[in-house]
């Protein structure tokens, strides 16, 4: 007799921005600071209502810079925190994102991408912040950015972003775009028993023995919550294991290499991608976010025409799935990279794919999605 309890999922029809907010609540987020910016504003609106209902705190800050600072401060007290923004706000947050990376504070930044540069297209689709996510701050730092394509995936990847931020002690991005933020579709909300919520490593020593960047037990140091009897120093300067500044070149190099290892040594926990019909593919398509939905339709249409196309869809965009892209590139005669910009991820594909044939883009700006037919025509061109 099977005594397994049947899991009943709640079925909803939600827009993507609401999915992000509800997933953050499910992940244990209890603090949100933000500033209204299209097309992410609905996230702040939902959080302003939902957080007080679960004992959390919502605050609208005076600007995007302050919002990023606020979630850093709240995270230092032990809360799971996040903010939501779009392209211009993402730009404003970069200095504080660099600070959060360097003092190793867990937090989540959701970027609902739109067209740019500058104010660009506030209410329309863009995938313009791919390289800003990787290289937006100065200095060397590890980066984790998740790019879901479907709303059930948005829900689970938002939860995963909080988990990764906690266990790696670093900011983590969720990059969706205007189409996903405002698209509504049916999804089943997973029961909490179906996923695990992870917490940052906390001190196992008393306050008088605690050092905030003591990595003797691993590359992710234990992190004490402020106001719990532990006192520790944070600074944007290079620092040693005590948290206080140092200019010792050997310490500076060792500490930054340690921060990089938090990501490079945990690729198995971070990297995620989908391969679709790539086993026998002769034409490779690489796409992400909402554009990957059109790319999958194009691959199906190509197969119906007898063209062996296959799709690699990064779900973790940073770190880029280099091995998967290389494996695909080595067996196809062409790689096609559709994205709603004038070419950003295509440079990563070119760098790692080792494709014997051309790597070409299907690019569109102006706020209009790339349609399957456009991708199909490019596939047929190289078939």
Tell me whether residue 216 is in a domain.
no
Q: Which of 285, 238, 275, 279 is nearest to 257 (CA)?
A: 238
User: Do residues 149 and 38 share a domain?
Assistant: yes
59 and 181 both lie in a single domain? yes
Which one of 165, 194, 223 terminates a domain? 194
CATH assignment of the domain containing 375: 3.40.50.920
| Pairing, β 81-85 against β 31-34 | parallel
User: Is the peptide bond between 51 and the residue preceding it cis, with omega within 30 degrees of 0?
Assistant: no
Pairing of strands 145-146, 316-318: antiparallel
Q: Give the model confidence (pLDDT) of 291-321 as tens digits.
A: 999 999 999 999 999 999 999 999 999 999 9
Residue 190 shares a structural domain with residue 289: no
Q: How many CA atoms lie within 13 A of 362 on its CB side?
A: 30
Indicate the length of the chain as a whole number.
Answer: 383
Looking at the fold, whether 85 and 186 belong to one and the same domain comes out as yes
Spatial distance between the Cα atoms of 313 and 211, rounded to a whole number of angstroms: 41
CA–CA distance, 194 with 190 (Å, rounded to integer): 6
> Does residue 132 share a domain with residue 23?
yes
Q: Is residue 92 situated within a structural domain?
A: yes
- For the chain, how many structural domains are there in total? 2
Same domain as 167, residue 290: no
Does residue 219 lie in a domain region?
A: no
Q: Classify the C-alpha dihedral 261-265-269-274 as positive or negative.
A: positive
Show which of 194, 210, 236 is a domain's final residue. 194
Residue 184 lies inside a defined structural domain of this protein: yes
133 with 280, same domain? no
Within-domain flag for 327: yes
Looking at the structure, tell me whether residues 282 and 189 fall in a common domain.
no
pLDDT tens, residue by residue, 134-193: 999 999 999 999 999 999 999 999 999 999 999 999 999 999 999 999 999 999 999 999
**Is 281 within a domain?**
yes
Question: Positive or negative CA dihedral for 158, 290, 125, 267?
Answer: positive
Domain final residue, candidates 194, 215, 234:
194
Is 205 part of a structural domain of the chain?
A: no
Is 30 found in the same domain as 156? yes
Q: Are 340 and 177 in contact (CB under 8 A)?
A: yes
**pTM for this structure?**
0.96
**Residues 304, 162 within the same domain:** no
- Return per-residue pLDDT of the chain as tens, 383 residues: 445 567 889 999 999 999 999 999 999 999 999 999 999 999 999 999 999 999 999 999 999 999 999 999 999 999 999 999 999 999 999 999 999 999 999 999 999 999 999 999 999 999 999 999 999 999 999 999 999 999 999 999 999 999 999 999 999 999 999 999 999 999 999 999 999 999 999 999 999 999 999 999 899 999 999 999 999 999 999 999 999 999 999 999 999 999 999 999 999 999 999 999 999 999 999 999 999 999 999 999 999 999 999 999 999 999 999 999 999 999 999 999 999 999 999 999 999 998 889 999 999 999 999 999 999 999 999 98
* Residue 256: inside a domain: no
Q: Same structural domain for residues 279 and 189?
A: no
Q: Are 16 and 117 in a shared domain? A: yes
CATH code of 104's domain: 3.40.50.970
Q: Give the domain range for residue 346.
A: 274-382
What is the reported pLDDT for 6?
Answer: 77
């Amino acid at each position: 007799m099977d005594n397994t309890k049947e899991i009943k999922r709640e079925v909803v029809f939600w827009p993507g921005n609401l999915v992000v907010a509800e997933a953050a609540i499910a992940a244990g987020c209890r603090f949100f600071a933000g500033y209204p910016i299209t097309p992410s504003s609905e996230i702040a609106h939902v959080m302003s209502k939902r957080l007080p209902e679960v004992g959390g705190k919502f605050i609208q800050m005076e600007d995007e810079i302050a919002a990023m600072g606020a979630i850093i401060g709240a995270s230092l007290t032990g809360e799971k925190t996040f903010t939501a923004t779009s392209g211009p706000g993402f730009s404003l947050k970069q200095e504080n994102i660099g600070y959060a990376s360097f003092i190793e504070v867990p937090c989540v930044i959701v970027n609902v991408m739109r067209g740019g540069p500058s104010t660009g297209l506030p209410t329309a689709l863009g995938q313009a912040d791919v390289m800003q996510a990787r290289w937006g701050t100065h200095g060397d730092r590890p980066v984790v950015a998740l790019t879901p394509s479907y709303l059930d995936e948005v829900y689970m990847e938002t939860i995963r972003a909080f988990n990764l931020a906690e266990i790696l002690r670093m900011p983590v991005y969720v990059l969706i775009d205007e189409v996903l933020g405002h698209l509504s579709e049916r999804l089943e909300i997973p029961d909490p028993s179906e996923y695990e919520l992870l917490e940052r490593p906390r001190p196992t020593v008393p306050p008088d023995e605690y050092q905030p960047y003591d990595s003797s037990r691993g590359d992710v140091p234990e992190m004490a919550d402020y106001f719990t009897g532990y006192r520790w120093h944070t600074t944007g300067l290079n620092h040693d294991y005590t948290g206080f500044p140092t200019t010792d070149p050997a310490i500076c190099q060792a500490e930054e290499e340690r921060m990089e290892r938090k990501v490079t040594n945990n690729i198995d926990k971070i990297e995620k991608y989908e391969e679709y019909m790539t086993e026998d593919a002769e034409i490779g398509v690489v796409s992400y976010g909402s554009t990957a939905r059109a790319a999958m339709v194009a691959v199906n249409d190509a197969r119906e025409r007898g063209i062996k196309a296959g799709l690699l869809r990064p779900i973790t965009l940073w770190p880029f799935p280099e091995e998967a892209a290389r494996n695909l590139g080595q067996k196809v005669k062409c790689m096609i990279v559709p994205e709603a910009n004038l070419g950003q991820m295509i440079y990563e594909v070119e760098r790692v794919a080792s494709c014997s044939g051309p790597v070409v883009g299907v690019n569109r700006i102006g706020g209009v999605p790339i349609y399957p037919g456009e991708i199909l025509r490019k596939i047929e061109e190289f078939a």
